Chains A and B, each alone.
Chain A
Amino acid sequence: MRARDYIGFAGGSLLRQRFRAVMLLAAIAIGVASVTVLTAIGEGARQFVEGEFSFLGKDTVIVLPGRKETTGGLPPLTGSTARDLTLADALYLHSHIRDIEDVAPLVLGSASIRYGNLSRDSMVIGSSHAFFSIRQLGIAQGQALPAGDLEHPLPYAVIGSTLRQALFGNRSAIGERLQVADRRFVIVGELEGSGDSFGMDLSETLIVPVASAQSLFNVNGLFRIIIKVRANADREAVEDAVMTAMTKRHHGKPDITLVTPDAMLATLGDILNVLTLGVAAIAGISLLVAGILVMNVTLINVRQRTQEIGLLKALGASSRTVQVVFLTEAALTAVTGAIIGYGAGYVLVLLACWLWPSIPFQTPLWASLAAIGVALVAGLGFSFWPAWQAGSLAPVDAMRSRQ
């Protein structure tokens, strides 16, 4: 029998039994679609997390107030009263540790921002000139916060693009005066792009000098200090030096926590690996279920077509020809199911991209190939036994079951 005739014969048989064909197609398509979508989610999550941390180079150390350790136990009942991180701490570290290139102190708060009769509640970040270079923020217009004495409050502000759009429309905001709570600020610069990163949309914030923010929110402590380590310097040595210096400044209590992007990425990497494993297991199970369904339906198919098998043998088909007839049906189903599943998965991934544009959902190439490959293997592999059964039917037994 020729390849074309196998396909024609198998295709005709599938079209004849549409319900069966559709059931098999659906099983395989769902398997392939789930692999496509789930791996896209896994890959999207990985790239999202990696992207979130990309603004923090490898040469960054973050200092948080308080001792936070992930020991897994319950937090102590007596609230540990951590000593505040202060601006003086930041300045001390910068001036006393040689390998620190720059520090960006951070104060966060929320305030009502008014321009004319427009008003908006927004996040206000208090920081410094160094914040822009460490976080690699682009300036669309104007300039960043001026470098200079951090302890001196200045009425300057850099505005995020979304916030600017809300208050000024398409007009330039440079030089305009804003009322922030009970203070006035002059806009000196506009942030570029959406600046969406790590759970904080900078495009909706106003960035002011740290001392101004401290007085605005009436706080002494800092939310955190971002330290940029000099290129080629030993980051661990800097971490040790920071810990030593802060312990000394806090009267012998090491009540700060140092976080590095590496450590965060390592922890998240572990979580993502578990996620990927789970995803692979779910997808694997769905393909296994599809495979077993293929086997059962093909077995039923063989039973129902016993007479046809007998006839084919009487007309001179060998066992092998009969096997290939049934395997061709399975292969056609598997290929079509895989294509439909891949297409459906692709559409779902596109839909997810459209719904959550910040997460880069994308099915990795290996997963697409694996999904289609596994579908073919499941579809064909689980058909071998039924096909072998069909082939080994004795023609006389097959013919005996009368119509």
Chain B
Amino acid sequence: MIELQHITRRFQVGDQTVTGLDNVSLQIRPGEYISVMGPSGSGKSTLLNILGLLDPPDSGKYFLNDQDTGALNERELAALRQQSIGFIFQAYHLIPRLTARENIELPLVLSGMPSAERKTRSDAIIEQMGLADRAHHLPNQLSGGQRQRVAIGRAIITEPVLLLADEPTGNLDSHSGQEVVKVLESLNASGLTLLVVTHDTDMGARAHRRLRMLDGAISEDIRSAHARA
């Protein structure tokens, strides 16, 4: 269970205070497939950063797996992020000097897992992402779709409880984009909670639960009839 209670986040831009999130409350149940849409500056990214433990709220509480994240110090937050959150970015954010396999294994390297165990896990992920013949390629030797699949592999290798995707198809052509959406949806089908921030209305419409944001607040929260949760 993931729960935001009355979260407010403001930013100081010059001498102006900009509200990122204004008293937002949200419950996310395990296995949900959520899309977040809304104009620029509506608070989508702020929501994503707070859910991803990258940014602390000014006020309000955030429970992740029934744990109050406000009570954790920087190190504990890093550990929780490492165990529980998977990130996918529009620009992939792969490390250019590392091969596909090394990029996928990076979270496990950071957590201190021995290399033999990492290998076992990354073998499975590489197979799952259809990258078996690309494992030793550097990011600049891969297509956009392949890069994003590497990034997805990296996000799920720690078996997180929440997968956060920020415009995952934003840099891709429609074919590659559909491919990536398929991968994400199959992960959700196997039980992984998925939250996607997107401008792409087609993709947004596919989610079982659709949030619309405006001026730092959730203005719409629609569940499809076929949503599992």
Contact = CB atoms under 8 A, between A and B. Distances in A.
Given A311-B95, A396-B49, A402-B91, A316 B54 contact: no
A9 B95 CA distance: 11
A259 interface: no
Interface string A163-188: 00000000000000000000000000
Interface stretch (B105-113, B128-136, B210-218): B105-113
Contacts, number: 75
Contacts of B106: 312, 315
Contacts of B81: 313-316
A16 interface: yes
A321 B97 contact: no
Interface in B65-121: 74-75, 78-79, 81-83, 85, 87, 89, 91, 93, 95-98, 106-107, 109-112, 114-115
Nearest to A12: B97
Contacts of B52: 314
Contacts of A9: 109
B23 to A, nearest CB: 20
B154 interface: yes
A312 B54 contact: no
B98 A315 contact: no
A395 B111 CA distance: 17
Q: Is the interface of A mostly helix, strand, loop or mixed?
A: helix
B159 interface: no
Given A5-B109, A13-B97, A316 B78 contact: yes
Contacts of A320: 75
Contacts of A403: 91, 93
A319 interface: yes
A396 B98 contact: no
Contacts of A4: 115
B93 A307 contact: yes
A2 interface: yes
A321 B98 contact: no
A15 B79 CA distance: 29
Contacts of A215: none
Given A12-B97, A315-B107, A316-B78, A1 B112 contact: yes
Given A13-B97, A315-B110, A394 B55 contact: yes
Interface string B195-215: 000000000000000000000
B158 interface: yes
Interface string A276-315: 0000000000000000000000000000000110011111
A22 B89 CA distance: 33
A397 to B, nearest CB: 9
Interface size class of A (residues with CB under 8 A): 20 to 34
Contact of A16 (B83, B85, B97, B114): B97
A316 B107 contact: yes
Contact of B78 (A307, A321, A396): A321
Contacts of B98: 12
A32 to B, nearest CB: 28
Contacts of A396: 49, 54-55
A312 B107 CA distance: 8
A316 B82 contact: yes
Contacts of B112: 1-2, 5
B97 A314 contact: no
A244 interface: no
A396 B50 CA distance: 9
Interface string A4-46: 1100010011011000000000000000000000000000000
A317 interface: yes
A399 interface: yes
Contact of A314 (B83, B87, B114, B115): B87
B87 A315 contact: yes
Name the residue in B54, B89, B91, B111 with the highest tally of chain A Cβ atoms < 10 Å from its Cβ: B54
A318 interface: yes
> 8 smallest A-B Cβ distances: which pairs?
A316-B82, A318-B78, A16-B97, A396-B55, A395-B54, A396-B54, A315-B107, A318-B75
Given A16-B97, A319-B75, 13 more contacts: A1-B110, A5-B112, A12-B98, A15-B97, A311-B95, A313-B78, A314-B52, A315-B87, A315-B154, A317-B82, A318-B75, A319-B74, A395-B55
7 contacts: A9-B109, A12-B98, A15-B97, A316-B81, A316-B85, A317-B78, A402-B91
